Amino acid sequence: MTASQGDVEDLLRELAPPVLAALVRRYGQFHLCEDASQEALLAAALQWPSGGRPENPRGWLITVASRRLMDQVRSEQSRRTREELIAVATPQSELLGPPADAEPADSDDSLALLFGCCHPDLSSPSQIALTLRAVGGLSTAQIAAAFGVPEATMAQRISRAKQTIPGAGFDFSLPTGAERTERLRAVLHVLYLVFNEGYTATAGDALTVPALSQEAIRLTRWLHRLLPDDEEVTGLLALMLLTDARRPARTRPDGSLVPLAEQDRQKWDRAQITEGIALISAALPRGEVGPYQLQAAIAAVHDEATTMADTDWPQILGLYDLLEQTAPNPFTALNRAVAVAMVHGPDAGLDVIATLAADQRMARHHRLLAARAHMHELAGHTDAAVAGYLDAARHATSLPERRYLALQAARLTRDGTARPTRSRRTR
């Protein structure tokens, strides 16, 4: 049957993990299998929209990838050695092309693939790049464009990651016990970082990179289907949905930033909010509450408020208190300081900020500087607020954030006095 380009792309992204998992399970040699699966995905993207989708898309991809893998092996100078390695795990009859449905779908294999891409021996940037390439099915060019780096740079990063995998002991078995818990934590952190980079880009001309946020949500949905009873997986999916729901209102037509207090909440995606609230409401009572569940609960409180004035800041502060106990983090502490200011007044918030500024990781971070400037504005300290906004603008690496902060300083300078009535948190 024929299929639209969009339908084909969606299907290929769904099939990318199980296809690669099947190849690695059969042949080993992760780096060769990953290259072959990417070639098969590219072939499908070119052929299926016009030529029609095969009856067994997954089997078609495995067959094509297996043949491409054989072509790679035979073209290498070390052909004999590599063929022997593959032949150990492969019946000779399959070397000419396996049956289309020879590999049954296995969720454990797909999960093992994701765990392998987030192996602790890989750096965080390598984990992210390899996950998007091997599990997400994105091309190197797409990943490079999303992160604003040259394609050659991203290609080197992915190549190094693939070369590290065999030496790191990637045996395609799921870890157990404490190791499994730790590896799942790494997987969730990678997906969280991908989402955050898409929601607020660390650098560049655009505030958001929607393709990254959407890919993070898609992969987290996939992980949730594999691990439906894991509360933190559910919590992370809920957090992403509740946060991404605000994205349509976060920028003006010219791309400039709109702070939370000024957003048109009618533009928020109510379907995502409803789904996110349902997910976190189901997860919280089930077991031990983790950091992603707590962050999702905070996001839900924000999303349930019809206006900024209706926000239940005492509840948000209580949740941040729990989050700080559960997973201490400088940025958690900074967000808590904002909640303290909203509940107990700007001077109380400034006291918390003063303790955070002693942390070298935070002292010159633009978000701390911006939060402190905002609290000075709330307290009526106009000169300190202007200086703080300008300092924050100098340290911001995202152009929309830098422009927004500079505009706040210009506004106060023009007006000559602060007129704080609302929180201007940019999230």
pLDDT tens for each residue of the chain, 427 residues long: 455 777 888 888 888 888 998 888 888 778 888 889 989 998 999 999 988 889 999 999 999 999 988 887 777 645 555 555 655 555 444 444 444 444 555 566 788 888 888 888 888 899 999 999 888 888 888 888 888 889 999 999 998 888 887 665 566 667 788 888 888 999 999 999 999 999 999 888 999 999 899 999 999 999 999 899 999 999 999 999 999 999 999 999 999 999 999 999 999 999 999 999 999 999 999 878 999 999 999 999 999 999 999 999 999 999 999 999 999 999 999 999 999 999 999 999 999 999 998 888 788 999 999 999 999 999 999 999 999 999 999 999 999 999 999 999 999 998 765 444 444 455 5
Cα(116)–Cα(187) distance, integer angstroms? 9
| Spatial contact of 93 and 79, defined as CB atoms under 8 Å apart | no
Residue 340 forms part of a structural domain: no
Q: Length of the chain in residues, anyone?
A: 427
The one-letter code for the residue type at 404 is: Y
User: Is the residue at 158 inside a domain?
Assistant: no
Q: Does residue 355 lie in a domain region?
A: no
pLDDT at 177: 85
Model confidence pLDDT, tens digit, residues 222-251: 999 989 999 999 999 999 999 999 999 999
Q: Is residue 328 part of a domain?
A: no
- Whether residue 67 is contained in a domain is answered as yes
| 81 domain residue, yes or no | yes
Q: Would you say 370 and 389 are in contact if contact means Cβ atoms under 8 Å apart?
A: yes
pTM of the shown model? 0.84
Instruction: Tell me if 319 is assigned to some domain.
Output: no
Collect contacts of 276-279 with beta carbons under 8 A, ≥24 apart: 276/237, 276/238, 276/239, 276/240, 276/241, 276/242, 276/245, 276/300, 276/303, 277/238, 277/242, 277/303, 277/304, 279/234, 279/235, 279/237, 279/238, 279/241
Q: Is residue 220 part of a domain?
A: no
Query: Which residue matches tokens 């006291």?
Result: 351
Boundaries of domain holding 24: 5-95
Question: What's the gap between Cα 244 and its chain centre?
Answer: 11
Give me the number of domains the chain comprises.
1
